[in-house]
Amino acid sequence: MEQIDTVSYKVIQGENVKLTVTAHTIDEEIAVSLDGGTVNPASVNPAIFNFQITKSNGAQFLVVDCHFKAADDANAFYQFSLEGSDGGGQFDASSVRKDDFIKRITYQFTLPKSK
């Protein structure tokens, strides 16, 4: 996997991707979907979501919805990292803070163009 920016990555078909979500001063309350289908966590605290790139071209989209309660600490946030099985290392992938207007992150995984 190759990072283009904090929300865009180049991947290959069949690559296994791991999303790690670390909650800071907040309980984990997130929902993750890949191309509209729910991705269930493999573990919690930190939450780890594993999924596979199944398309052979184009792109796949991972959406992470973050939830905050009014009582949560004002400095509460979620930190994301991504890692692919095809190498490239672990990438810091962005964060969502309680005071952010938008509480959703969409990641794009782009595959090489077919010849």
In tens, the pLDDT along 17-59 reads: 999 999 999 988 999 999 999 999 999 989 999 999 999 999 9
Burial class (CB in 10 A: 0-12, 13-18, 19+), 89: exposed
The answer to whether 18 and 43 are in contact (CB under 8 A) is: no
The length of the chain, given as a count of residues:
115
Q: Which two tokens stand for residue 16?
A: 């296994």
Does 115 have pLDDT greater than 60? no
Q: Where are the domains of the chain?
A: 2-110
Rounded to two decimals, the pTM is: 0.93
pLDDT of residue 113: 82
